[in-house]
Structure 1
Amino acid sequence: MINITEAAQTHFAKLLANQEPGTQIRVFVINPGTPTAECGVSYCPPDAVEATDTELKFDQLSAYVDELSAPFLEEAEIDFVTDQLGSQLTLKAPNAKMRKVS
């Protein structure tokens, strides 16, 4: 569903180290399947995990995705890129505005 690169996992692990124990990340889509769809990443404390969430386990963390966002995050990738101008987190979700048709 979602690929989180090693660089992004390391970045998230550093951020999560300063949060409440057990906090992970949540990846979501606001207005999925519409031209105004927007993707986001937020902290997900243990008490915010819903029974219908999908847990994606990675080496350094877990990412939770709600059931409405899941189909729109197929083939999504989160990366942490460093260049001469600095570092930035990128989230590419080619199916956020339209669900992938098999």
Structure 2
Amino acid sequence: MNKIASNIIYNMSANDIVISGMSGRFPLSDNTDELAKNLYEGVDMVTGDDTRWPIDLYDMNPRMGKIIEFNRFDVTFFGLPDRLTRCPEMAWIVPE
């Protein structure tokens, strides 16, 4: 075993974890690769349009990040009742 590998093994404790992968859904990006591409290309992923709901709804700032196909939210994984995610208000609360 080389010196670097032995140091890595030696310095690990029983409580250490390894992150071997990552996934997610981000504004205008369905995965981490799309997010990285959009960031590198300078894409403004925070929009001020009314594609999701009227801009003046709830007196909120009209610019916000919106995920693509938000209806693909996995309610079972998060233990939420399906009917809850059909409410217009929950369309932006649940993914946060």
State whether TM-score is above 0.5: no
Q: TM-score, normalised by structure 1?
A: 0.24
The structure in which a higher percent of residues are helix is 2
Instruction: Say which one has the larger Rg.
Output: 2
Q: TM-score, normalised by structure 2?
A: 0.25
